[in-house]
Structures are given as C-alpha cells and as structure tokens.
Amino acid sequence: MSSPYEVIFSNEAEEDLLRLFDFALLRELESSAPDLGMPERAIEAIRTGCTFLAHSPFSCRKAPPGDNSFVRELLISFGAAGYVALFEIVDARTVIVGAIRHQREEDYR
C-alpha cells in the first residue's frame, strides 16, 4: 500500500539528526556503563517515528502558537524521554520535517 504523503527531511532536520547523534554519543562515552549502540538506535527511532507522518500527519498536535494548522509536532518516544519533530504539511502529498529536538531541549534550533 502506498503512502498518501511523502515525508522529506529538510537540511536543517538532517543537521539536527547529526547533532542529536553526537550529543547522545558524548553522553554515552561519559557514562560509567556506555552503550555505544544507543545513539544509532535513537536516530533510527526518530526516522521510524517520522514514517507515521506518511499516513496521519493531521493527527499530530499543532505547533505553538497554533496559528497555522499545517505546522505540527510529532512526539517520538525513546527511553525515559524522546524527541519532538516539527513538520509542515505543505500540500496534499508532501510533509517536510523542518527540525528535530530532544524533549528536554528548550526549543528548536
């Protein structure tokens, strides 16, 4: 079955994935029991979570301040926290992921 929406990661979102990977890797390297596979699993969880957008992007919450019903956020669970993907439904066939942050970060970069 084909997906109604094509999900595209912007250059900024791809940079966020690299930043989040590096942050997770550094955190693991500083840990007393490092799990060096964790950063890769985190990025895979984000990419897998974003596949949901291909089928149901309007079921995600509106991004603050909520003026534009086409700009939304996807919550992605991972471990004790997770990630938030900011995306825009640009037309009847396309969703663009514009930014990704860890849930404990203050805002998108």
Residue 63 has φ and ψ, to the nearest 5°, of -80, 140
Task: Report the percent of the chain where pLDDT is more than 70.
Answer: 95
Secondary structure of residue 38 in the 3-state scheme: helix
pLDDT band at 81 (very low <50, low <70, confident <90, very high): confident
- CA-wise closest residue to 24 among 103, 93, 102, 84: 102
Domain borders along the chain are: 6-102
Q: Does the pLDDT at position 108 exceed 70?
A: no
Which of 10 and 65 is assigned the larger pLDDT?
A: 10
Mean pLDDT of 35-44: 96
Q: Which of 1.20.1260.10, 3.10.310.30, 3.30.2310.20, 3.40.50.970 would CATH assign to domain 6-102? A: 3.30.2310.20
Average pLDDT taken over every residue of the chain: 92
Q: pLDDT of 93-104, one tens digit each? A: 999 999 999 987
Around 34, how many Cα atoms within 13 Å sit in the side-chain half-sphere? 11
Whole-model pTM?
0.90
Sheet holding 6-9, edge to edge: 6-9, 94-102, 81-91, 71-78, 61-62
Name the residue type at position 21. F
Which pLDDT score is estimated for 1?
Answer: 59
